[in-house]
Structure 1
Amino acid sequence: MTETDVVIIGAGHNGLTCAAYLAMAGLRVHVVERRKVVGGAAVTEEFHPGFRNSVAAYTVSLLNPQVIRDLRLAEQGLRIVERRAQNFLPAPDGSYLLTGEGRTKDSVARLSVHDAEVLNGFSRELEDIADVLRQFVLRAPPNLLEGFGTAAIREAMNAFQSANILRTLTLEQSRSLLDLFTRSAGEILDERFEHDLVKALFGFDAIVGNYASPYAAGSAYVMLHHAFGEVNGKKGVWGHAIGGMGAITEAMARTARDQGVAIELDAGVREIIVERERAVGVVLENGETIRAKYVAANVNPKLLYTRLIAAEALPADFLARIRHWKNGSGTFRMNVALDRLPSFTALPGEGDHLTSGIIIAPSLGYMDRAYLDARAQGWSSSPVVEMLIPSTLDDTLAPAGKHVASLFCQHVAPELPEGKSWDDHRDEVADLMIATVDSYAPGFATSVLGRQILSPLDLERQFGLLGGDIFHGALTLNQLFSARPMLGHADYRGPIRGLYHCGSGAHPGGGVTGAPGHNAAQVILRDHRALFGSRG
């Protein structure tokens, strides 16, 4: 038996972030990870001889700059570079949109003078609101509590402080914020812009990891969620971690280990030990017991409460609700080894556009049909594909003259209809994704030397992403802010004393941010000081 102050379930980026902060404050921390490598879904692995890539999470922007500084990730070797162009959207008619610093407005103007005139105003509106909401990222949202006492007073103060942050918005910005939380991205974009590719540029962010149409209510918030990011101090920019996404989590693990954190791999958790209505440790799949003052879970909330804790240890109403926690990203992930770079009909040859996020989704209608197809038959007949070719920015990933590409594909049903299994259809759907890219870049299919396929079922098996959900739970209004993962538990504390949520199923939600891990650590430290003062 091992004893420690905190045991953390899952060595993904949030678990490692939480561990590092706790250890820097002097607590003994033990992280257990089911897989044989650290990183969770943010890992870099060889998937074809000589070819390495970010396996699941695949691009950088949302990683919080304070987390980068506090964990000294640059000192640990992390280097993030910007894409030379941000996004490239080819259309079937040969037109295209190419965005990035010094490019976007001119490219939009070639498609629509009207859209070029209103583009800066719309982008500024999103940026201004995102600037205000960024202030909520590294703090717990107000938590709804019953009764009156010290905790209720604390939450009332938190609500007051949150209201003061929102008061910095103008009335018109407040109206826009309400729209972004409640309306569809499609409605808003149709009101502002006229060209399909311009609408698709913003609309794609509304469906990334979101198994929904861009015309679904609430999809505008997902669009806003993706506006929170920055790279190297530049807001709204996307980039690449040299060495792949695993370079981020490896740097985090080095910081954690430097602070004395024990990280145990190949150590899946069988159950959380609950005694006298308090979480006091975990039992591993190999039978080993680790006892701790606190247990922090960097796993999907539904997985946590339906698989790792005995039902009788939980409040019945809580368990009933968490069983209906909504998962499913509509995501199909592929990594491909290429013997050459693709050449797009809309913009042939090499160029900065190949360093960008290449989005095959030429209109909101195309995205809407992709979702409806998946609902009806299990996958889209004309899927949405974002392709990144990180080897254009990073020569450590592939042999000289060769390349790797990440394909983030939507929409696919988390569970196939009529009892079908993803194991029987994954290759068929992978062929479709390759053919979709080939229809815009002829010859792409013949350039593929090898491929790695991750269906929603594969993502669940390998990374614990239930239904393939990359966010550990849908970013819907009933699963956001004070309701993430549930009203009454937005403060990172579970319904059992000593149990905490430190993963993306807690505020502020999905993406490689480090924010839930940071926030959960602050709550654990506050509770520890309340119990023990300055004593360990």
Structure 2
Amino acid sequence: MPMQYDAIIIGGGHNGLVTAFYLARAGLKVHVCEARDVVGGACVTEEFAPGFRNSTASYTVSLLQDKVACDMNLAEHGLKIVNRPLNNFLPLERDYLKVGPGVTEREVARFSKKDAAALPAYDARLEVLADQLRRLALKTPPGRGLKGMAAMAAQGWPLLGLSGPEQRDLFNLFTRSAREFLDGWFESDPIKAVLGFDSIVGHFASPDTPGSAYVLLHHVFGQVNGIKGAWGHAIGGMGSITQAMARACEEKGVSIGLEEPVAYVNVGGGTARGVTLADGRVLDAPIIASNVGPALLFGQLIDRSDLPDDFARAIDGYACGSGTFRMNVALSELPEFSVLKEPGHHHGAGIIIAPSLDYMDRAYTGAKAYGWSARPIVEMLIPSTLDDTLAPPGSHVASLFCQQFAPRLPDGQSWDDVREKVADLIVDTVTAHAPNFKRSIIARQIHSPLDLERKFGLIGGDIFHGRISLDQLWAARPVLGHGDHRMPIKGLYLCGSGAHPGGGVTGAPGHNAAREILADRPLFKLRA
């Protein structure tokens, strides 16, 4: 006899846990199916060498919704987040740029007094526009019919309150390239590099690609400990977020099954009936919420014949592949940067190795042609400078978050054949700025785009479950007409990063999906 639940969540990542929590809090009997042997999806902390632990995939905190953290009492369940001492550090050939509270204008003035003078207006403008994203993050995008039209009007109406210049900049952010947008404000390469880096994070595109300016905005609408636009570190690594979420779920009666990969979603008569696990077990429920991405859900877990033809064609065109290569390294000592050797706040910042927008553009064109660039883009974080639980005394761990690596290699190559070679290139890229880096490496953990797909179910290694572009945002995420989390099979919902407002450790898609599921509750025969 199949196990009976009110709701089954496919995938125990952070958004799946958020959905499970809200449904269980409302009285539903909820079960989470997690394919791996640890809960948390791509938001986990793992030991990758004896005594060295780090956030395996997702690696930094900013976008986590305060409402979600408060509702789930994550602090009471052990979550502690500390702010970075600096936001970013950009090492250059003979100089550097620091970006963070109280230092940015002074630092930028060394390169351009005009740019330093423009920063307050730029920050204020971006903050106004980021507030629009914050306002929409916990709202359900409009669906179809009269209800959808009413939601569209209600959510769009506040935009009319923006001034003319603010409306123009918002339009430009959605349509123009990051370079075009930043060129309208600044003249010096270093500040444009630091700000423009956000436009290509998880986005396999050039900063010259139209629409890349929005990705820049997507990364700045978060906050940490009440400070808007700040970045932070979860003590114990990112897994401490999902471990706290799991405890909150279990407190509400959620059952979490580990090593329970879902083979397919059972559908009958256009209605979701439950899931069949890879080991053959069947779990029944009238509500299925998928925390896996649309490409995985509709490409592998659902029979195409169960989908309407128009939806199937639309989802065929859903773009995945964020061009990310991820590494963790165990270090015997801190990197000594040629331009700033002594230990300092810069070691606790996001260290960006990409000195200009031109460098980023060349990295993309190189990756598009050959699979990766000879001069890759690397962001390095050293979380052990803020968290002594991650490494033995005197040692450190570093996260290397690398951009512009083709999800699929040309000429039939496999990432399995070149991953070590590419990892060496990344290490050499960092060592060019910190000469002691290579010799200080004790161990390393490598995740190519293919590794990210196999280990975490991220198709094409896409950390966002799908491209962050105008055609795949808001009411069109994953496809137009299904932005309200309701998929074309009755009882099937999307609760992960492939739904609005997109990727990052936000909890917003899970929160919003749970609200819509509970709104539809009278449509289902539930155990409760």
Q: Normalising by the residue count of structure 1, what TM-score does the alignment of the two structures yield?
A: 0.97
Amino acid at match of 2:457: G
The 10-residue stretch of structure 1 (368-377 or 184-193) with the greater mean CA deviation from structure 2: 184-193
Are 1:337 and 2:309 counterparts? no
Structure 1 match to 2:290: 297
Structure 1 match to 2:100: 100
Structure 1 match to 2:238: 245
Are 1:165 and 2:158 counterparts? yes
* Unaligned residue ranges in structure 2 (runs of 5+): none
Cα contact 1:283–1:290 (8 A) shared by 2:
yes
Structure 2 match to 1:118: 118
Aligned equivalents of 2:197 and 2:458: distance in 1? 21
Deviation at 1:153, TM superposition (A): 2.6
Deviation at 1:28, TM superposition (A): 0.8
Cα contact 2:7–2:31 (8 A) shared by 1:
yes
Aligned equivalents of 2:499 and 2:372: distance in 1? 29
Match of 1:240, SS state, is strand
Cα contact 2:286–2:524 (8 A) shared by 1:
no
Are 1:474 and 2:467 counterparts? yes
Aligned equivalents of 2:404 and 2:27: distance in 1? 45
Q: 1:91-490 to 2 correspondence within 5 Å?
A: 91-92=92-93, 94-143=94-143, 145=144, 152-490=145-483
Deviation at 1:164, TM superposition (A): 2.0
* Identity among equivalent pairs (%): 57
Amino acid at match of 2:85: R
Q: How many residues align?
A: 527
Are 1:47 and 2:40 counterparts? no
Aligned equivalents of 2:178 and 2:242: distance in 1? 32
Match of 1:192, SS state, is coil
Amino acid at match of 1:131: D
Cα contact 1:380–1:410 (8 A) shared by 2:
no
The 10-residue stretch of structure 1 (353-362 or 191-200) with the greater mean CA deviation from structure 2: 191-200
Match of 2:339, SS state, is coil
The 10-residue stretch of structure 1 (390-399 or 161-170) with the greater mean CA deviation from structure 2: 161-170
Structure 1 match to 2:25: 24
The 10-residue stretch of structure 1 (19-28 or 154-163) with the greater mean CA deviation from structure 2: 154-163
Amino acid at match of 1:135: R
* Unaligned residue ranges in structure 1 (runs of 5+): 146-151
Structure 2 match to 1:148: none
Cα contact 2:30–2:254 (8 A) shared by 1:
yes
Moved over 6 A (4+): none
Deviation at 1:166, TM superposition (A): 1.5
Q: CA RMSD in A?
A: 1.0
Deviation at 1:168, TM superposition (A): 2.5
Deviation at 1:160, TM superposition (A): 1.8
Aligned equivalents of 2:302 and 2:203: distance in 1? 28
Aligned equivalents of 2:78 and 2:88: distance in 1? 27
Aligned equivalents of 2:158 and 2:465: distance in 1? 27
Match of 2:199, SS state, is helix
Amino acid at match of 2:23: L
Cα contact 1:11–1:32 (8 A) shared by 2:
yes
Q: Normalising by the residue count of structure 2, what TM-score does the alignment of the two structures yield?
A: 0.99
Deviation at 1:5, TM superposition (A): 0.3
Match of 1:340, SS state, is coil
Match of 2:117, SS state, is helix
Amino acid at match of 1:481: W
Structure 1 match to 2:61: 60
CA pair 338-265 structure 1, distance change in 2 beyond 3 A: same
Deviation at 1:529, TM superposition (A): 3.5
Deviation at 1:531, TM superposition (A): 4.9
Cα distance per residue 1:343-393 (max 9 Å; x no partner): 111111100000000000100000000000001111011011000000000
Aligned equivalents of 1:391 and 1:276: distance in 2? 53
Deviation at 1:532, TM superposition (A): 6.5
Aligned equivalents of 1:532 and 1:39: distance in 2? 30
Amino acid at match of 1:201: V
Are 1:7 and 2:2 counterparts? no
Aligned equivalents of 1:124 and 1:134: distance in 2? 15
Match of 1:206, SS state, is coil
Match of 1:131, SS state, is helix
The 10-residue stretch of structure 1 (169-178 or 518-527) with the greater mean CA deviation from structure 2: 169-178
Deviation at 1:167, TM superposition (A): 2.1
Deviation at 1:530, TM superposition (A): 5.2
Match of 1:46, SS state, is strand
Aligned equivalents of 1:258 and 1:49: distance in 2? 32
Match of 2:286, SS state, is strand
Cα contact 2:321–2:459 (8 A) shared by 1:
yes
Aligned equivalents of 2:480 and 2:33: distance in 1? 28
Deviation at 1:163, TM superposition (A): 2.1
